Structures are given as structure tokens and as C-alpha cells.
Amino acid sequence: MMSSKQLPILVLKEGTQETKNKDAQKNNINAAKLVAQIVKTSLGPRGMDKMLVSPIGDVTITNDGATILKEIDVEHPAAKMMVEISKATDNEVGDGTTSTVVLAGALLEKAEQLIDKNVHSAVIVEGFKKSAQESIKILRDSAAIKIDPRDKAWLYKIAQTSMASKMVSLNSKDLAEVVVNAVLNVAEKVGETLKVDTDNIKTEKKAGGSIQDTRLIQGIVLDKEVVHAGMPKHIEEARIALVNAPLEIEKTEFDAKINVSSPDQMQKFLDEENKILKSMVDKISSTGATVVLCSKGIDEMAQHYLSKAGILAVRRIKESDMTKLSKATNATMITNIDEITSNDLGYAKLVEEHKVETDKWVFIEGCENPKSVSILVRGGSERVVDEAERSIHDAIMSIKDVIEYPYVIVGGGAAEALASQKIREWTDSLSGRAQLAAEAFADGLETIPLALAENAGMDPIDTQVRLRTKISAVISNGMAKYGVDVLNNKVADLAAKDIYEPLGVKEQVINAATEAACMILRIDNVIAASKTKDTATPSGTGGPYGGAGADMDL
Ligand code: ADP
Ligand code: MG
């Protein structure tokens, strides 16, 4: 469908719907607020989980904002923008996806109140942008604590806070250790700072056992078994050939060239085939390889020859795993077996097949390049391991964030509450309506601690008063430590409870939420091309969201 933006001015196709000014704004704000409401109740340790059922009946249970929004199918263009920011936050910093959407929703709600008072949206946008900058400045200057990125005690706190809001919170202590060790293992010094490539951390999950059986493997786990029963299952000082070619004879050749007319000929042909396979195996084993990891199939005859040569082989390994294996073991990926030499082989201290529940998996440990690890995620059921894996992902990302940008702030809404209060003081320096926008921004920030409180069943007004009083008492020295202790249902010093988050995540939350809110506020005209006939909603209503159609390309 042609984007209506390209159409000449005022010449709109028949059926095109146009919503203008306040109507358009209200409509967009409402849609975005609805999305924020969906995830708001899942914020924080006392947030609830959502059960999402896909059209084909797959069930996901999660409280991860990005996952919730990914699974639900929103139609409204402004709602889609909210989904986009949660995705962007997921990609940028990995954690804080729910907070981003909740904050954006809150900012829009406050903006709506100003629009009702005839404050122009351009003024609000301007005020929000300045306030966001100021908030980040406040956090950096008076709330952030610089840490040593290798200090495990700090990293444990961060990982535990990230997992405190998840289904896995009871095991967050054990998991924090796994996560922190995994990330430190792959951290590399680049100039003065540490960098983490999370691609070097592979997570494999298997339902069964319990979450605390989750463990870190110094190497790579393949969810594949050794291909032939006669092969060794345990090889030390392994010399590894990485083969990116089939160890079989391509069936097409078979079809094309053979014209068998007698049993004799058939036998000859098979002998010939065996010879080719044997020569492939001989070629590989002549290099001194003791392990063959192959991305394609391995013919039964080839398996037989490999096992006779005492080689452990695994077939049909995923491309992405082949790349990781190459990096970890220093093996060169071979596509032409005739060219393999001993220089192409990689090394691992141990290659071994283990039973994981009913499956057999191959573990490649003690690799040449130790900057490659796996986390084997365990848990009672498929859904538990899935959510555990998502929580571990968030924690890994949090640790990466704080290692690369080693500043932390107190969680539980403490940082937001302090910033909110300081923004209110700062508004005095602004004039007129900009002041109103900045105040609205301060209110928006406060929504985070209040949402945490509400989800814990605490009274929001009561919490707000207590929080403001506590913070006023310490605001002169700028300490951000009073937040919502949701586990004990009170406003408390959360630094004392070791609830810390990466500053990088908070900055992203504020930036992304402000950006989305402003983007939505700047739209004063929605022009939606008419839908194609069979999917059309009754004209004039434009579907469940009113004026704006779903195909609008914003
Ligand atoms: P997000 O997707 O935004 O990370 P979460 O559901 O993970 O959302 O909740 C994160 C929020 O929970 C953060 O504001 C964090 O500070 C807060 N939080 C984590 N642990 C605690 C705790 N023990 N007490 C209060 N708040 C906490
Ligand atoms: Mg989180």
C-alpha cells in the first residue's frame, strides 16, 4: 500500500481517514497508555506474570516487558511505537524494558493533562527533552556510584537485583554467581575499559532438574549426541576437526550417474562409494584429529570408519555453534576435506558426552580460547526454563552494561524518586509553561517507585508522601537511597538492602521513554490510507482504536 505521506497535498485517496490535532493526539496517547497499562502490573519483584497464548496455542509465562509486547499483536501505530522502544531497550541494554514502557506511558498521561489545559505539545516536548537531560545529569552527578568492574561483590548485587523481579528470584543467589562468572570469563580488555561480547556466552536449556542445577561450563555444549555407538565418549587433549561439509556422498550424484543392471554392478558401486568415504575419513584421521565436529550429515559407513579410527564425531551442528566452536577451539572450518591439514585442528582439554535428562549432549571443555562459555539452564518444566533463560539474559546484559560503564545507582525506584524531586527544584529555573512540562516530567519519573509500590499492594498516595518526606531530608547531599522496599512493604534505605542497578540501564530507560513520548506528542495529524477490502473495518470508526488505521506508516 502506498504511504499516504507520498501523496500530493490534500489529495487523499477515497477512504483515507484523517484525524487532526487534539483528536489525533488523544487517540495516540490513549493507545500508548493502554500498552503501558498491560506491562505496568508486571514491574518489579511483586509484579505479576502474564500468560500469553499464541494463535497456535503455545503458552509463554513471563514478566519480561519486551517478551510480553513481542508476543501480543498490537495494531495501533502509536501502540506499535511503544513495542518498538521496549525492543530497542532490549537490544541496547537488555534490561529495563518494562520500566521504559511504563515511564513512556506515564509521561504521556501527564502530557495529556497539560494538553487539556491548552499547553501546546511543542512546549511539552521541549520541556520533556530538557528534563530528561537534566535527570541523567542528576543521576550521574549525585546518585551514581563508581565501581570497580571486576569487583564480584558489586556484580553479584547487580545480577541479583536484575533477577529479583523474576520467577527465578528464589535462586537469584546461585544464578548470580553463574551469570557473573560467565560474563567475567568473556570480558576482554580494550584499551582502558573492559568489553563484553555476549555472543561468547551460549545458553542451552533443558527442562528437568531444578533451577539451581543451572551451571556454567567453561566451553561449549552441543545438544547433540556422539553419532555412533562404537565411538569413544570421552577424549582428553582433543584435537578437533571442524568440518563444514557432508561426510557422505551426495544423493544427487547417486541418482544421476548410476545405471545398475546386475547385483554385481551394485556391489561394485557400493564398494566404490565405501572407498570414497574411507578416503575422506583417512584424510581426516591422518591429520591427527581425535574429534570431528560436522555441520552436515555423516554417512553410516563414514561413522563406521571414524569409530574404527577411535574418533569421536558429532553431526548436524548448527552454523552458529560452528562459528563459536571455531572461535573457542581455534580450529579452522574446513569445507574441502581434501585440503585439511593438522594446522586446521583446534584444541580442547576434554570432549565428553554426558547425559542431560533423557538426551545425550556433547560438552567441549577447557578450550584453547577460554573466552567462550556456556550456561546450561535447568528448571522444572519447559516454561520454567524458558523464563529462567530470559531472566538470565537480562542479568547477563546488566552485568555487561555495568562492566562496560561501571556506575551503579540504587534500585527500587530510589534513583527515579530522587531525580523527580531534584527536577522539581530545578523547575524554578525555568519560565512559564516549560516549568509545567518539567513538573509533569518529574511526576512521570515518580511513577516508577509508585508502580512498584502498587504492585506490592501498598497504598500509592501513602508511599508518595513517605518517599517525598524521606528524600527531602537527604536531598541536600543528594543521596539516592530511599526507595520502595517491596518485599517488606515500606519505604526504606535500599542501599542497605543491596538493591543496585546499572546506571546505563536507567539512562537508556529515561532516554528511550522520553523519545517515544515526544515522538507520539509531536504527531498532530494521522492520515491513514484505507485498508484493502477484505480486512477493512467499518468505515468511519477505523477499528478498535478510532481514527487511526493500522497500516499507517509513521
Ligand atoms: P524491567 O523490565 O524494567 O527491568 P522488572 O520487572 O525487572 O522490570 O523490574 C525492575 C524494577 O524492580 C527496577 O526498578 C528495580 O529497581 C526493582 N527492584 C528489583 N529488586 C527490588 C527490590 N528488592 N525491592 C524493590 N525494587 C526492586
Ligand atoms: Mg528487569
User: What domains are defined for the chain?
Assistant: 17-146+410-528 (1.10.560.10), 219-252+263-369 (3.50.7.10)
Interhelix angle 382-404/152-164, nearest 10 degrees: 140
Which residue did the predictor score with more confidence, 20 or 333? 333
> How many angstroms separate the alpha carbon of residue 38 from the centre of ligand 1?
17
**Signed CA dihedral, 289, 233, 235, 202: sign only:** positive
Mutate which of 38, 39, 43 for ligand 1? The one with the most ligand atoms within 8 Å of its CB, which is 43
Average pLDDT, integer, range 32-36: 93
pLDDT for residue 5: 57
pLDDT for residue 536: 43
pTM: predicted TM-score of the whole model, two decimal places? 0.84
pLDDT for residue 257: 57
Q: How far is CA 494 from the centre of its chain?
A: 26
> How many angstroms separate the alpha carbon of residue 195 from the centre of ligand 1?
25
pLDDT for residue 12: 65
pLDDT over 70, % of the chain = 91
Average pLDDT, integer, range 469-497: 89
> Does residue 544 surpass a pLDDT of 50?
no
Q: Is 329 among the catalytic positions?
A: no
DSSP designation for 534: G
- On whether the CB atoms of residues 362 and 317 are closer than 8 A, the answer is no
pLDDT for residue 538: 44
Residues 6+ apart with CB under 8 A from 227: 298, 303, 313, 314, 315
> How many angstroms separate the alpha carbon of residue 403 from the centre of ligand 1?
19
Confidence of residue 480 (pLDDT cuts 50, 70, 90): confident
Least confident range from 25-39, 408-422, 486-500, 522-536: namely 522-536
DSSP 165-178: TSGGGGGHHHHHHH
> Does residue 545 surpass a pLDDT of 70?
no
Q: How far is CA 272 from the centre of its chain?
A: 51
Average pLDDT, integer, range 192-209: 91
Average pLDDT, integer, range 430-453: 94
Cell numbers for 359, please give them. Answer: 538426551
Cell numbers for 340, please give them. Answer: 585439511
Residue appearing with cell numbers 546505563 = 504
> Does residue 542 surpass a pLDDT of 70?
no
Residue closest via CA to ligand 1's atom 7 equals: 165
> Does residue 29 surpass a pLDDT of 80?
yes
Residue closest via CA to ligand 1's atom 12 equals: 44
Residue 554 Cβ < 6 Å to ligand 1: no
pLDDT for residue 167: 85
> How many angstroms separate the alpha carbon of residue 322 from the centre of ligand 1?
37
Residue 502 Cβ < 6 Å to ligand 1: no
pLDDT for residue 408: 97
Tell me which H or E stretch contains 239: strand 234-243
> Does residue 454 surpass a pLDDT of 80?
yes
Q: How far is CA 294 from CA 226, 313, 436, in A?
A: 11, 7, 64
Average pLDDT, integer, range 108-127: 94
Which residue did the predictor score with more confidence, 547 or 105? 105
Average pLDDT, integer, range 55-79: 87
Q: Is 214 among the catalytic positions?
A: no
Least confident range from 117-126, 156-165, 363-372: namely 363-372
Average pLDDT, integer, range 13-23: 75
Q: How far is CA 369 from the centre of its chain?
A: 25
Q: Which of 19, 41, 60, 64 is catalytic?
A: 64
Which residue did the predictor score with more confidence, 367 or 543? 367
Residue 214 Cβ < 6 Å to ligand 1: no
Residues 6+ apart with CB under 8 A from 292: 240, 241, 243, 247, 284, 298, 306, 311, 312, 313, 314
State pLDDT tens for residues 270-324. 788 889 999 999 999 999 999 999 999 999 999 999 999 999 999 999 998 999 8
Q: Is 287 among the catalytic positions?
A: no
> How many angstroms separate the alpha carbon of residue 167 from the centre of ligand 1?
12
Residue 96 Cβ < 6 Å to ligand 1: yes
Average pLDDT, integer, range 241-270: 75
